[in-house]
Amino acid sequence: MPKKSTKKYQRFTPVYTITPKMAQALMRIEAAKQSVEHLPITPAVLKKLKETSRLHSIHYSTAIEGNRLTLEEATQVIQRAAHFRGRERDESEVKGYFSALAEVERLAARSLPISEKTIQTLHALVMAGGKSKVRPSHYREGQNVIKDSETSKIVYMPPEAADVPNLMQALVKWINTEPELPCPIKAGLSHYQFATIHPYYDGNGRTARLLATLIMHEGGYSLRGIYSLDEYYAKHLTIYYDALAVGPSHNYYLGRAEADMTKWLEFFCMGAAQAFESVQRQASEAAIRKKSDASSVMRRLDARQRQALELFVSDEIVTAKQIGSLFGFRPRTCSQLCQKWVGEGFLVIVDTSKKGRRYSLAKEFTVLIQ
């Protein structure tokens, strides 16, 4: 084993080139993003699209790791509508990913910097089988090796456990100090580097995909929560693994650490472009079906008001606290926003209590949630 330098693990300096194919994919992503953001989709339709996207992410991400449940069966497990004897581990994986994906959505709404604890918590949820309260996972304390399931041949030997903390610290620092990098590039590089470090014995692939999703969401590329990259990976699984396995050697210390990530980034960006364009088509079709009266009403609302409509899909009356939680606002900021919306005729006060003030949607906007 070559002698390692401590300085090598204090910075993450990715090697890649923005190719014409990658640049084209980034433009496609941006075009689809802009289109979907301005489509007059009602909250009821948006909710259905989100549910479909979430279920696809859960099913396909766990299927990549060998989960045997079909999309329909995974849906039944999430909805607690069925139990499949002999597949308890598969059910646990689906429930775990569901909880972790919900955490990604909560974290993205709060727009907090990504920390090691953030990633450790996502991993803990992935492995917890549906538990909502977990302790952040500790990194592995020994060596792990990735082998071909059929030939038992070593596919990849990650860095030693002693190097993992420094490598993870360097990755997180890089994520939070690269503001000029296009968000899809940052998400793709983070996915690759997390898989490279392989900080856990199990659950690395799912956590890597969740980390990339979180970075996309926090960077303004949530696409209203209605896309799934996991489906693209699962349907191009051989290419996915091949793109991740770049480098002259399966040993981290013999080439993987300095590998050129261009091939992987092309795959990642092309996948994001396809996923975004798929959502664009679905959203356009949904918007056309619901156009009628709702279209002109929807165009009167700003971006935050459109997002707030989601709360009224489930509840006729909502609290100021619910609205604040949706945007990650402090009570005072939320109170000012609600007062503004009441003045604009968007909300109606139904309970004047200062501590528990509650609101309903103005009647003219109820067409948007039906």
Residue 84's CATH number: 1.10.3290.10
Q: Which residues span the domain enclosing 309?
A: 294-369
How many distinct structural domains can be found in the chain? 2
Q: Is residue 81 part of a domain?
A: yes
Inter-CA distances, 169 with 127, 166, 254, Å? 22, 5, 22
Domain shared by 196 and 132, yes or no: yes
Q: Output 271 or 369, whichever has higher pLDDT.
A: 271
Domain shared by 198 and 52, yes or no: yes
Domain shared by 272 and 362, yes or no: no
Q: Which of 12, 46, 74 is nearest to 230 (CA)?
A: 74
Domain shared by 225 and 300, yes or no: no
Residue 39 pLDDT greater than 80, yes or no:
no
pLDDT at 2: 44
Look at the alpha carbons of 120, 124, 130, 132 in this order and tell me if their dihedral is positive or negative: negative
Look at the alpha carbons of 167, 263, 266, 145 in this order and tell me if their dihedral is positive or negative: negative
Residue 287 pLDDT grade (very low, low, confident, very high; cuts 50, 70, 90): low
CATH value at residue 351: 1.10.10.10
Pairing type for strands 317-319 and 347-351 reads unpaired
Q: Output 351 or 309, whichever has higher pLDDT.
A: 309
Q: Letter for the amino acid at 295?
A: S
What's the whole-number mean pLDDT along residues 16-25? 96
What's the whole-number mean pLDDT along residues 247-258? 83
Q: How far apart are the C-alpha atoms of 148 and 165, rounded to whole Å?
A: 27
pLDDT at 328: 87
Domain shared by 205 and 92, yes or no: yes
Question: Of 240, 255, 284, which residue sits at a domain end?
Answer: 284
Q: Is residue 248 part of a domain?
A: yes
Domain shared by 219 and 303, yes or no: no
Q: Which of 167, 117, 162, 177 is nearest to 10 (CA)?
A: 167
Domain shared by 48 and 155, yes or no: yes
Question: Of 259, 284, 309, which residue sits at a domain end?
Answer: 284
Of the spans 77-86, 192-201, 221-230, 284-293, which averages the highest pLDDT? 192-201
pLDDT digits (tens, 9 = 90+) for 312-363: 888 889 998 889 888 888 888 998 999 999 999 999 998 877 667 889 999 8
pLDDT digits (tens, 9 = 90+) for 109-158: 888 889 999 999 999 999 999 887 899 999 999 999 888 777 888 889 99
Question: Of 249, 284, 319, which residue sits at a domain end?
Answer: 284
Q: Percentage of residues in the chain with pLDDT exceeding 90?
A: 55
pLDDT at 3: 45
Domain shared by 277 and 311, yes or no: no
pLDDT at 288: 66
As beta bridge partners, residue 147 has 154
Q: What is the mean pLDDT of the chain?
A: 88
Residue 294 pLDDT greater than 70, yes or no:
no
pLDDT at 95: 96
Q: Output 6 or 173, whichever has higher pLDDT.
A: 173
pLDDT digits (tens, 9 = 90+) for 163-212: 999 999 999 999 999 878 999 999 999 999 999 999 999 999 999 999 99
Residue 35 pLDDT greater than 90, yes or no:
no
